[in-house]
Structure 1
Amino acid sequence: MKPLLALCIYLSAFLLLTACAQESGTLIAQKTLVDEKAELPVFPEVQQPVQDPLPVYPEVAKQQFTWITEDGGQSQLDFNPRVDILFVTDNSDSMKSAQANLIKNLNRFTNGISNNKMIDYHIGVISTWDQKWENPESKKADEYKAGELRFVKTTAGTETKERFVTKKDPAAVLATTLKIGVVALKDGGPENEEFFSPLTAALEKSGRGAANEGFFREDAQLVVIFLTDADDASNRISPEQMAQTLVDFKGGRQDKVSVYGVLVDAGDADQYKDWALRVHPTYHPECFVGQKNNGKCSGFGPERLEQLIVAANTGSGNPKQIRDQFIMSIVSPNFGAELGRMGDSITVKTLEKQIYLSQIPRVDDAGQLMLRVRYGTPEVLAQGKGQLIPKKLNGGWNYNPSSNSVKLSGDIKYQYTEGARFAVDLVPVPLAN
């Protein structure tokens, strides 16, 4: 019985321990749950805010712009293109064929100028000068003083009392007037041709009662054209001084001055040049040993005249570009065509116009300038009509913000109307408060 008793005691002890373990685990679990609940924070109930309704804004109206028309002031919107063309012609004995070539091709030069109904032109001619004529005892072929315009000649070759040709004169009158002829040295013709001194004198003789009164006009483009196979021999005026004199004469307006040359080139054969530009011992002894050519000189050109042309046309390119545009060869095989290009160049320059605005134009949201230019009679322009000039560099207009001005090119194709002018319409930038 002892083994049985021992087994019973063992089983009883095992059951007792199992029951205690279960109770102990339950108490531990309960105690843990209570502790965890005790550690959790208790938050107050959150009240959701009540949102106000979104405001209703009125629809924004599209901004309206008011266009105005500039009156320009001081008649700057008028369009009366004027040009005063002064030929400074060499009348020494060697110029006979050159003058004849000019007259033969003169219509090629004047076509663009005279055929354009808009251009009001004055064309005159003065001759070269020789300092020796300032001596009363020297022989002189004619009575014209330095810088005096030659009298206009009729088609029959007789002189009139007029000093310059205008658009009312027949084309043939210009040809006879520009054909001033030549004078041989033995007959009192020029030897040392001066061009700057008679040109300066021509400007000075423009006052009331002077020989050239009425030729030069304040608002006109000034064009000077030298026709010679020589160079300037004026010893008191430099090319730069001559250029500045021309600009000063036009009130400091560089854009109002153009100087051209129908000249020989340093590389031309001596037979086409005045004696002073030839490789000759009398005029260039540095090229000779005694009477024998030392081979150091290849030829001479009109350096002073070329320097003046470059200085007077500053702003038209670099020196080479200016020479190419403003100088043509007096012995060119294409003389007529080159003379025609010169005339066309003068026409374009004369028709250029700049209009200064009193208010700055606005730029719209698309980046477009709110500015337009119209051409027509005052009556037509007042109705908001007229020829609309395109905005483009060539054949139209361009705006310059630095000067607040409109620049019209000289090659616009106008529908010509007598008495027409310009209207500039714009939306101005508002003035700051």
Structure 2
Amino acid sequence: MGPDPVASSFALPATTTVPELTGEGSSTSTSTASTAPVLEDTSTSSTGEPGTTAPLQDLGMPDLGDLHPVGCKGKIDFLFVISRFGYMETMQERLIEAFPDFIATIQSKFADFDYHVMIVDGDETWGSQVCNADCTPTGCSYPEYPCDAIESISACDTTMGAGTVFPAGKGASNVDCGIVGGRRYLTREQPNLPETFACLAQVGLTGDDRLGEAVTAAMQPQITGPGGCNEGFLRDDALLMVTFISNSLDLFSAGKPKLWAEAIANGKHGDPNSVVMFSIHFPECNPSDRLCDLVKYYFPYWHIADNEDADYRPAFEIATDLIGEACSAFIPQ
């Protein structure tokens, strides 16, 4: 058995205030961190000529070296939060098709690309509750269901926000996907990355769509810290990219978008600029769409794609540009 499940209460301490970015950006653009204003130069040189500035050493100032941020240097933690709700089969397939090109594009931009990839689904259950209760031909209607695995399911398999390693249920992979190292996320040590990702991302159709609650749980210290289900996934010196894929409005997640945003920012030491938010969902963002609120109004780097697009690769191309922008300004904690 693994560690005890993380509690599903998300009353987080108010350690971070996440600014709301009201109205900036769109489903096809992003708002980015503002640059410092250009100030009028009113200084004079040692000869009294205006418009020139004396060197720092002439003023007795120390040489501060290169003040530019060091950047993420190719270290990126990818968190995919995928609904297990009904009718998600096509969307999961399109994600799986787009993933190899997405990773290849990122690889081309970073010479030392170093990734963590974790899949989290929208609830705390494993597989099908009906099949788990009666895994017989009369009790379980899914011929490929892994009945022999039910007794070996760990606490992390039934913990909200824990990385998926063995998707089960209708439309799921129904196999242990074989992550190396005993982790619940993929690293550069993983052979056959596209194939393993495809196995993990096929989370199936027999679960919930509580993605806001799932991402909140996945960022809690109890689950990311020592002994937690996702220990080692989040790295202080890595950019975080969160990708949501859903076909519903997430009406049942505990908490509200501001609370979810605080959990994500707290996981990155209170820095929303170290997060890229990407959602394959509903670009129109109707008033009931809490997932859209989370992506669009609390983080400076974001993009929302249409989940009905026949090909998700163009949307991921936009996401790679966002990663480049965010990495160029990233300051590791």
TM-score w.r.t. the length of structure 2 is 0.61
Q: Distance in 1 between matches of 2:72 and 2:244?
A: 29
Q: Is the 8 A contact 1:122 1:215 kept in 2?
A: yes
Residue matched to 1:222:
240
Aligned-residue offset at 1:147: 0.9
Amino acid at match of 2:304: I
Partner of 1:386: none
In structure 1, distance between residues paired with 2:327 and 2:166: 23
Q: Deviations over 1:317-373 (max 9, x none)?
A: xxxxxxxx5100111145322222223322332233459xxxxxxxxxxxxxxxxxx
Which is greater in Rg? 1
Distance 1:110 1:351, change over 3 A: farther
- After superposition, the Cα gap between the structure-2 partners of 1:163 and 1:64, relative to the gap in structure 1 and judged at 3 Å, is closer
Instruction: Report the Cα distance in structure 2 between the residues aligned to 1:174 and 1:152, rounded to whole angstroms.
Output: 16
Cα RMSD between the aligned structures?
Answer: 3.8
Give the aligned residue type for 1:150: T
Matched with 1:348 is 325
Equivalent of residue 211 in structure 2, options 181, 195, 202? 195
1:246 and 1:64 map into 2 onto residues whose CA distance is 42
Q: Figure out how many residues of one structure are paired with residues of the other and give that number.
A: 242
The answer to whether residue 108 in structure 2 is matched with residue 94 in structure 1 is no
Q: How does 1:304-319 map to 2 (within 5 A)?
A: 304-313=290-299, 315=300
1:245/1:348 CA distance change after superposition, 3 Å: same
CA displacement 1:284-313 (0-9 Å, x = unmatched): xxxxxxxxxxxxxxxx78711101112332
**Does 2:305 match 1:328?**
yes
Q: Which amino acid aligns with 1:214?
A: G
Aligned equivalent of 1:303, options 283, 289, 302: 289
2: CA distance between counterparts of 1:146 and 1:94? 21
Matches within 5 A, 1:20-419: 66=57, 69-70=63-64, 80-115=73-108, 116-129=110-123, 133=125, 143=153, 144=157, 145-151=159-165, 158-160=177-179, 161-170=182-191, 172-180=192-200, 181-184=202-205, 189-190=206-207, 192-204=208-220, 205-264=223-282, 303-313=289-299, 315=300, 326-353=303-330
- Residue 6 of structure 2: aligned partner: none
Given the superposition, is the C-alpha separation of residues 104 and 157 from structure 1 closer, same or farther in structure 2, using an over 3 Å criterion? farther
Q: Which has the higher contact order (CA 8 A, sep 6+)?
A: 2
2:232 aligns to what SS in structure 1? coil
What amino acid does structure 1 have at the position aligned with 2:308?
V
In structure 2, how many angstroms separate the alpha carbons of the residues matched to 1:159 and 1:167? 14
Q: Which runs of 5+ in 2 are unaligned?
A: 1-46, 48-53, 133-144, 168-174
Q: Which has the higher strand share?
A: 1
Which structure 1 segments of 5+ residues have no match?
1-59, 268-299, 317-324, 356-433
Task: Compute the displacement of 1:129 (Å).
Answer: 0.9
Asked whether the equivalents of residues 95 and 182 of structure 1 are also in contact (C-alpha less than 8 Å), the reply is no
